[in-house]
């Protein structure tokens, strides 16, 4: 899938914020020529993939490394400049390059060129963005599995097996006298093995979704139960206002932490009671919405007041995974229901984290991968078609039905890898990348 890129593009690959060092990448047919014009110490015996120190024509000094088209990230001649990371140096060198014939790269354009020049498939291109967007180490490592070819190799293996089955189907149809009937037992065994492969891939679906959107944890309970204090304890800072006045929290407050390798969004909500005014009612309505949308609920009650019938009524109607939290446990001697918490002494914080970890799916870094929504949707379609194909074989239905389903499987695999993806889909994927990638 080669595409002719005529423009030479440039952008900072380390962002545009001030830093000790910045890296500018220039890629395209004029990359070397432009570099010669802006770098004052071009070596007489130039070699690719060697670092050269010198001065640039914007008065900055730094390193220059050039890559030939078969060794570069983009599949084109590419040069990287390492300079001081001041905004003035970055911008002046970009301006100089643009006057010499380059243009500023669009978001994701370097990776798009790598994709169209056959250096990477679409799954690995998407994994580059996922690696950059990763909020936790687990997310990054799962995305790295894809970036290193996990989905590509699995899909390629499935595609080869399906093409082999299709060849057997067509041979048994067109040359039945020479090759005999289709070996349905063998085909059935192959399809069963392929379904197991797909099951393993799709096992990452739920964890990938949670990594993408975050685990939403709603702190719910009556006013003055200590929800805001627990939020502050988990964050290690005073994010929410805490007073002895019931109903202090009128609106939801959201903050992110990491639990069990997942980004978790803690949502502090208004206390549930009969509202005293319209503002509090709006806050309570938002609390009820959070109850509906939460992945996990931390139900907080005041242990010094005990577990009430009102608490039980709300708690009993929560349908998602939930944890009962007995706050202010340092004020009582009896053992309360739920996890004992004291925000005054931080007692129970680790117990709360451990209990929450048990409610989120585990992550197998070595065997799982990160699936985005596009890949998940196509893999599920492939899975359903493979089940149909197995059903067709096992019930001795027409081989035409089998061929139609399996050819569709090939088409969907090609879409996953980007071999036949819709141009609008390709454009949308790369438009979401950051500058410099």
Whether residue 235 is found in the same domain as residue 197: no
Round to whole Å and give the CA distance between 29 and 402: 48
Round to whole Å and give the CA distance between 386 and 198: 9
Whether 126 maps to a domain, the answer reads no
Whether residue 241 is found in the same domain as residue 152: no
Whether residue 327 is found in the same domain as residue 230: yes
Whether residue 237 is found in the same domain as residue 349: yes
pLDDT, residue 178, reads 61
Range of the domain at 329: 211-357
In tens digits, the chain (437 residues) has pLDDT values of 446 678 999 999 987 788 899 999 999 999 999 999 999 888 888 999 999 999 999 999 999 999 998 899 999 999 999 999 999 999 999 999 999 999 999 989 999 999 999 999 999 999 999 999 888 888 999 999 999 999 999 999 999 999 999 988 888 776 655 656 778 888 899 999 999 999 999 999 988 888 888 898 999 888 888 888 888 888 876 565 444 544 444 456 888 888 888 889 888 887 665 445 565 555 566 666 777 788 999 999 999 898 998 889 888 888 899 999 999 888 887 778 889 988 888 888 999 999 999 998 778 888 889 999 999 999 999 999 999 999 998 888 778 888 999 999 999 999 999 998 778 888 888 888 877 77
Measured CA angle at 20 (ends 15, 22), to 5 deg: 40
Whether 434 maps to a domain, the answer reads no
| DSSP secondary structure string for all residues of 374-423 | HHHHHHHHHHHHHHHHHHHHHTT--HHHHHHHHHHHHHHHHHHHTSS--H
Give the HSE-up count for residue 15: Cα atoms under 13 Å, Cβ half-sphere: 6
CATH number at residue 140: 1.20.120.430
Whether 254 maps to a domain, the answer reads yes
Whether residue 262 is found in the same domain as residue 292: yes
- Do 324 and 311 contact (CB within 8 A), yes or no? no
Round to whole Å and give the CA distance between 151 and 144: 11
Whether residue 20 is found in the same domain as residue 78: yes
Whether residue 215 is found in the same domain as residue 352: yes
Whether 162 maps to a domain, the answer reads yes
Record the tokens describing residue 105, joined without a space. Answer: 């790269």
CATH number at residue 340: 3.40.50.300
Closest Cα partner for 126 from 364, 338, 347, 371?
Answer: 371
Whether residue 198 is found in the same domain as residue 326: no
Round to whole Å and give the CA distance between 263 and 138: 10
Instruction: Give pairs for 243-251: CB < 8 Å, separation 24+.
Output: 246/271, 246/273, 247/223, 247/271, 247/273, 247/276, 247/280, 248/223, 248/224, 249/283, 250/279, 250/280, 250/282, 250/283, 251/282, 251/283, 251/286
Helix (H) or strand (E) holding 176: helix 176-179
Whether residue 98 is found in the same domain as residue 152: no
pTM of the entire structure?
0.81
- Do 290 and 269 contact (CB within 8 A), yes or no? yes
CATH number at residue 45: 3.30.1360.120
Whether 248 maps to a domain, the answer reads yes
234-270 per-position pLDDT tens digit? 887 656 544 454 444 445 688 888 888 888 988 888 7
SS (HEC) of 270-309: CCCCCCCCHHHHHHHHHHHHHHHHCCEEEEEEECCCCCCH
Q: For the purposes of burial, counting CB atoms within 10 Å of the CB of 195, is it exposed (0-12), middle (13-18) or buried (19 or more)?
A: middle
Whether 401 maps to a domain, the answer reads yes
Residues in the chain: 437
Whether 426 maps to a domain, the answer reads no
- Do 298 and 339 contact (CB within 8 A), yes or no? no
Round to whole Å and give the CA distance between 371 and 385: 19
Whether residue 341 is found in the same domain as residue 229: yes
First to last CA, the chain: 20
Round to whole Å and give the CA distance between 242 and 230: 10
Round to whole Å and give the CA distance between 275 and 407: 60
* Dihedral of alpha carbons 273, 319, 357, 310, sign: positive
| Number of domains observed in the structure of the chain | 3
Residue 155 vs residues 44, 135, 198: alpha-carbon distances, Å: 47, 27, 9
* Dihedral of alpha carbons 294, 298, 302, 308, sign: positive
Whether 60 maps to a domain, the answer reads yes
Whether residue 348 is found in the same domain as residue 391: no
Q: What is the largest CA-CA distance in the chain?
A: 89
Q: Which residues pair with 78 in a beta bridge?
A: 27, 67
Whether residue 76 is found in the same domain as residue 44: yes
- Do 396 and 70 contact (CB within 8 A), yes or no? no
Identify the residue whose tokens are 């503002």. Answer: 279
pLDDT, residue 420, reads 81
pLDDT, residue 47, reads 93
User: Among 119, 144, 176, where does a domain finish?
Assistant: 119
Closest Cα partner for 296 from 344, 234, 374?
Answer: 234
pLDDT, residue 234, reads 87
């Amino acid at each position: 899938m080669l595409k002719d890129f005529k423009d030479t593009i440039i952008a900072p690959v380390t962002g545009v914020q001030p830093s000790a060092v910045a890296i500018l990448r220039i890629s395209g047919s004029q990359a070397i020529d432009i570099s010669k014009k802006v770098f004052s110490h071009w070596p007489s015996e130039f070699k690719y993939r060697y670092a050269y120190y010198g001065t640039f024509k914007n008065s900055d000094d730094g390193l220059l490394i050039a890559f030939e088209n078969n060794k570069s990230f983009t599949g084109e001649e590419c040069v990287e400049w390492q300079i001081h990371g001041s905004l003035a140096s970055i911008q002046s060198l970009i301006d100089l390059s643009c006057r010499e014939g380059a243009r500023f790269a669009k978001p994701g354009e370097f990776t798009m060129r790598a994709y169209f020049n056959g250096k990477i498939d679409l799954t690995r291109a998407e994994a580059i963005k996922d690696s950059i967007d990763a909020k936790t180490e687990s997310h990054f490592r799962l995305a790295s599995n894809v970036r290193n070819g996990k989905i590509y190799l699995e899909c390629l293996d499935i595609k080869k097996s399906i093409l082999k089955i299709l060849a057997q189907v067509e041979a048994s149809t067109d040359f039945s006298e020479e090759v005999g009937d289709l070996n349905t037992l063998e085909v059935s065994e192959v399809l069963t093995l392929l379904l197991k492969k797909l099951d393993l891939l799709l096992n990452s679906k739920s964890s990938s979704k949670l990594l993408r959107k975050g685990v939403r944890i709603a702190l719910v309970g009556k006013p003055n139960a200590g929800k805001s204090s627990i939020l502050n304890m988990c964050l290690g800072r005073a994010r929410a206002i805490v007073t002895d006045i019931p109903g202090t929290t009128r609106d939801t407050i959201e903050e992110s932490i990491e639990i069990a390798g997942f980004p978790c969004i803690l949502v502090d909500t208004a206390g549930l009671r009969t509202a005293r005014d319209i503002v509090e009612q709006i806050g309570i309505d938002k609390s009820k919405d959070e109850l509906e949308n939460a992945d996990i609920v931390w139900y907080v009650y005041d242990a010094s007041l005990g577990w009430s019938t009102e608490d039980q009524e709300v708690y009993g109607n929560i349908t998602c995974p939930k944890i009962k939290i007995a706050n202010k446990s340092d004020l009582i001697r009896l053992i309360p229901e739920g996890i004992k918490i004291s925000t005054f002494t931080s007692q129970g914080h680790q117990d709360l984290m451990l209990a929450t970890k048990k409610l989120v799916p585990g992550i197998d870094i070595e065997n799982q991968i990160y699936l985005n929504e596009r890949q998940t949707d196509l893999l599920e379609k492939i899975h359903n078609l493979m089940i149909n194909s197995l059903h067709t074989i096992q019930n001795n239905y027409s081989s035409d039905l089998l061929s139609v389903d399996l050819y569709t499987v090939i088409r969907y695999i090609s879409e996953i890898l980007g071999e036949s993806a819709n141009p609008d889909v390709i454009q949308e994927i790369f438009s979401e990348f950051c500058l410099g990638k």
